Amino acid sequence: MTGKAQQTYEHDLFPDDGVGLRCAKCDLSWKAAPRSRCAGVPSFRSWDAVPKHLRTRAQLDDLGVKPGGPVRGAVTMYNNTVFYALFDANEALPIRSAKAASKRAAVAAGASEGSKLS
Ligand SMILES: [Zn+2]
């Protein structure tokens, strides 16, 4: 080691049979050692892969709520050079009371809609 400080965005890689390498922190996998940064939370390479209950701050805002907990996941774009933070909609807090309540119900409905994997 050269004493270079770079611990923050480093993947915690371990060998994963049949895939290659997997990161214990972001759960992404590669066939060869990645040069990308690690989000440090469960990460998704496409919006389609994101569970329904995980939303970006902007998506929560559209629903009249705001993040009520820590970052729970990330969507990674452009080889992990861009991250979109995801928050758990179930932890979200209302921005405005009455209007937000019905929209929170919509979030819950979306979360229980089930997977569309075929
Ligand atoms: Zn990682």
* 28 burial via Cβ count (<10 Å: 0-12, 13-18, 19+): buried
Percent of the chain with pLDDT over 70: 74
What domain range is 18 assigned to? 13-109
Q: Give ∠ CA 83-86-90 in degrees, rounded to 5.
A: 180
Q: Is residue 20 part of a domain?
A: yes
Residue 116, pLDDT score: 46
Q: Please say if the pLDDT value at position 114 is more than 50.
A: no
Q: Is residue 82 part of a domain?
A: yes
Q: From ligand 1's centre to the CA of 73, what distance in Å?
A: 11
Q: From ligand 1's centre to the CA of 93, what distance in Å?
A: 29
Q: Is residue 62 part of a domain?
A: yes
Q: From ligand 1's centre to the CA of 42, what distance in Å?
A: 8
Could you tell me the pTM of the whole model?
A: 0.69
Q: From ligand 1's centre to the CA of 69, what distance in Å?
A: 21
How many domains does the chain fold into? 1
